[in-house]
Structure 1
Amino acid sequence: MAAEPSLFARVAQWASCQAGRSWTFVAAAAVVVLWALSGPFFGWSDTWQLVINTGTTIITFLMVFLIQHAQNRDTQAIHVKLNELIRATHGAHNRLIALEDQSEEELAAAREEMRRVAEAAEAARRLVEVKR
């Protein structure tokens, strides 16, 4: 049974979904157009400019947290899925499971090992092609 997501997780999920919809972009573009069209009525004043600057800054600030939350969640899900594929694949290197939790040096060593394995496999493939 899955645990109930926190209030933040539910709000962030909902807000992320809404922010990614086409109507949200259209609404944001309409706000900018209305703001620009209202310029002459406010005499292109500093307050008129401050309204859009403040609004966009606040929205951008909040969106950073929503985007980071969504990215963290997606990354964790992908890691779990990849770990399961590694675990279930015969001949796979189980030490690669949870590699994202290892040190930079261990990650670099694993990347180098995989590069060598790929190069060896490519060399073997070429050898087979030459023999044909």
Structure 2
Amino acid sequence: MKFSKFSHALSKWAGSAKTFFIALLLILVWACTGPFFHYNDTWQLIINTSTTIITFLMVFVIQNTQNRDNDVLHIKIDELLRATKDARNAMLSLDKMDQKELKALRKEYEALGDCETLTLNEPVPKEPSA
């Protein structure tokens, strides 16, 4: 199994309510055992080490999933730009621009947005059916 498939499946599992409640239950069990172990250093070390290891590994899983989702989103936006007649195809290669160029382009779009007003309660016009 590829790491990306594994990380995608693991991130879905880790983000579920069931996993959250399992983690919460484990913490409650750990907390309840405190008096039995007299709250000693080993008892504290168990939760500290466990959470540190899990957090360290999850960083890589989450980053891989975010990278994949980001790539998918960019491909979808690129396809919309490509299919839109009035869109500038140069927008398909924004990732090759440096920070200064991107900032200038952002200002251009902000200026376009400043020319328009938005009314929140106004219904959105529907496109005529073909």
Query: How many residues are treated as equivalent by the alignment?
Result: 118
**Aligned residue in 2 for 1:51:** 46
Deviations 1:90-124 (A, max 9, x none): 2112211131332101111111111222234x28x
Corresponding letter in the other structure for 2:9: W
**C-alpha RMSD over aligned residues:** 1.7
Give the TM-score taking structure 1 as reference length.
Answer: 0.83
Can you list the C-alpha shifts for 1:16-43, whole angstroms capped at 9, x where unaligned?
1110111100110000000000011111
Contact in 2 for aligned 1:79/1:98 (Cα 8 Å)? no
| Counterpart in the other structure of 1:36 | 31
One of 12, 19, 34 as aligned partner of 1:17: 12
Instruction: Give the unaligned 5+ runs of structure 2.
Output: 119-130
- Return structure 1 stretches of 4+ with deviation > 6 angstroms: none
- Equivalent position to 2:102, from 101, 107, 123: 107
Instruction: State the AA in 2 paired with 1:31.
Output: L
Q: Select the structure that is richer in helix.
A: 1
The within-5 A match list for 1:75-86 is 75-86=70-81
Q: What runs of 5+ residues in structure 1 fail to find an aligned partner? A: 1-5, 126-132
